[in-house]
Structures are given as C-alpha cells and as structure tokens.
Amino acid sequence: MVGVIMIKSHNALLSLTFCILLLIIHSSALTNTSQLPCTSKTLDQLQEAVDKLLRQTSASTKETLALIHQSTRLTSETQLNTHQHPDDYSQDFIDKFEQLSQKIWTNDDLYQRIESIPLASLTSADKHTINHAKTLFSRYGFQPETGDIHLTPIAEGKLLNILQYPEPELHQKAHKVTEFNDELQELIDNMLTTMYQTKGVGLAATQIGVRRQVVVMDVSITQNHPMVFINPIVTPIGDTLLTFPQGCLSVKDTMDVVTRPKKVRIEALDRYGNPFVIEDDKLIAVCIQHELDHLNGILFIQHLPIQKQKSIATRLGHLELARELRPSIKS
C-alpha cells in the first residue's frame, strides 16, 4: 500500500511543512534457495575468488565481473546463514569469515578495480553486481581515499499498478523472500520507480499484488535516499506511543491519524540479502510500521474506529461493504 501523509504546522516562529508519508508495500511469494549451509569450503571459494581478482589485473571486464559476483554472493550467503542460524556455526568459523570479509571489503586495490570498470556498456545485472560490492565495502566501514562510496545508478524501473481498497489481494499475507536473484532486483527497481512517480514515501509489494516481504521507502525531503527492507522484523522499544497522520496509495483521498509505538528496532535484509539493524523514532518508524501492516494484509484504515471505516467505504462508493464492515483488528 501506499500512504500519503501531509502535516502542515505553522506558528509565528516556525513554519514547518512536513510532508509526506507515502507508504507502499507489496509482497509476493519468494521461495528461498540460498539456505545452503556455508562451510569452510565456502571460505576457501571466497578466498580463491578474491585472490584471482587481485592477481589478474589484466582479466577482461567480463571475467572480473564474474569474480566480483561470486565474491559478493558468497559473502552475503554466509552473512545471511550465520545471521539466521547462529547455532549452526562455530565461533571459529564466524571469526574466520569476518577476518576474510574484512580483508576483502576494505581492500583499496579491489575497490579501485571495481570503481574503474566502465559502466556505459554494462547490463542492469552487472550494475547490480557492482552496487552489491560497494554496499559491502560501505558495510565493512571502508573509506575511499577520495570522497564517499557512490552507488551506481540502476536502470529505471517500470511504473506498476497499485491495487486499490477494497481489493481482496491487499489482505493477503506476504511470504519471506529467500532468493536474491535478478528478478528480485527488477521488482525492487520497479517498486522504487512506482513509489517516486506516485509521490509516495513507501510502498509494500502487497500493494502491487506481489506476496513477498519487500518494502521500499524514502522519507527524505530530497527524495534521493531510497531504502529497501526485505523480510523486516519490527520490535517496539519502550512504551511511548506516537499518533501520526497517515494516508495510503491504496486508499485514495483518505487521511487519518493512527497511534503506534514511537520507537522501533528494525531487523531486515537489504536488496542483496545482507542483514542490517536500525533503530528509529521518527518517520522511518512510522512508515515501516505502516508498510509492515501491508505485508500482513492490513490497511491503516483498519486501525480506525468502525464507524470511521464505514464512512470511508461509503465515501469511496462501496456501500455494501460499508454495511457489512465489522471491527477486524484491535486499536
């Protein structure tokens, strides 16, 4: 779904215009294929790929990209497996993996090799491979000698159709994503394009009829900080609540306030399957809770009193639905 929230507050000293919560989430069924156990052989393969990368400075771009792809894939698979099944891995294995990863993803020569690959003729999949590698450099705290790590612009996605209330598909639960393949990358690009073109700040895969736990958001004023949350787990921190106006791209011309936990911890995977954790008590917290509801088949209007829900259904022309509406969730 997409939510649109606009808050305008003016006073004598400050004129603040906060705009904007558009939340869109769609999730669709992804099946997991990367749950292969990682072993010491995985580390050997990773070491071998990186040794080749660093040694073969005269390799063709195609060979280099294949090795980068292998290195990023092995790193992310191992990260994901050790994150999701910590009891299955010895401390020794995790220590060795961390040491190896640190060595690779803070290696300046490797970064410069990746940075020097000409982008003009690359396919979208190859650009993703480069972005994935740069994400790992960033995650391991690598600082390039000049400037920041810049992710490569990815090809524009397609504008997708956003399902509208009372479409039953909006009430389907999303499945976990388990395969971080090219198809997922295309879905994410399409969702980002759709979110930006519809002036949303969030979109869940559920809202485009895809039952996968995929959320894209951008709560920045400048709308140039895309965030991707795969399989998000949201845990409230503390007892403080926040009442905040919200709207949704899947419920047109409707805005109302919803009260939710103010501060949350979000555990999720990025678009390449790398686990990350953030805590927030501002727009990200508001938005992710709205989007998580979408993944669970819940629209923000279901948090409103039943009489309000009936009047929304009536106003949008769904008279029969308005008559039959019963409270469906608490709060």
* Residue 173 token pair: 């639960």
DSSP 88-127: GS-HHHHHHHHHHHHHHTT-HHHHHHHHTS--TT--HHHH
Give the shortest CB-170-to-Ni ion separation in angstroms.
Answer: 9
If we measure between CA atoms, which residue out of 295, 283, 300, 182 comes closest to residue 229?
295
186 catalytic? Reply is no
Q: How far is the CB of 42 from Ni ion (least distance, A)?
A: 39
Q: Which is nearer to Ni ion, 80 or 292 (CB)?
A: 292
Tokens of 310: 């009936």
d(CA 19, CA 130): 34
> End-to-end alpha-carbon separation of the chain, Å?
19
| Residue whose CB is less far from Ni ion, 78 or 213 | 213
Closer to Ni ion by Cβ: residue 43 or 201:
201
- Rounded least distance, CB 313 to Ni ion, Å: 17
- 169, 291, 320, 324: the active-site residue: 291
CB of 100 or CB of 205, closer to Ni ion: 205
CA distance 329 to 331: 7
Minimum distance from residue 21 beta carbon to Ni ion (Å): 9
Q: List interacting residues with Ni ion (CB under 5 A).
A: 1-3, 23, 248
Q: Which of 278, 2, 317 is nearest to 160 (CA)?
A: 2
Task: Give the other-Cβ count within 10 Å of 25's Cβ.
Answer: 39
Residue nearest to Ni ion (CB): 1
Residues taking part in catalysis: 291
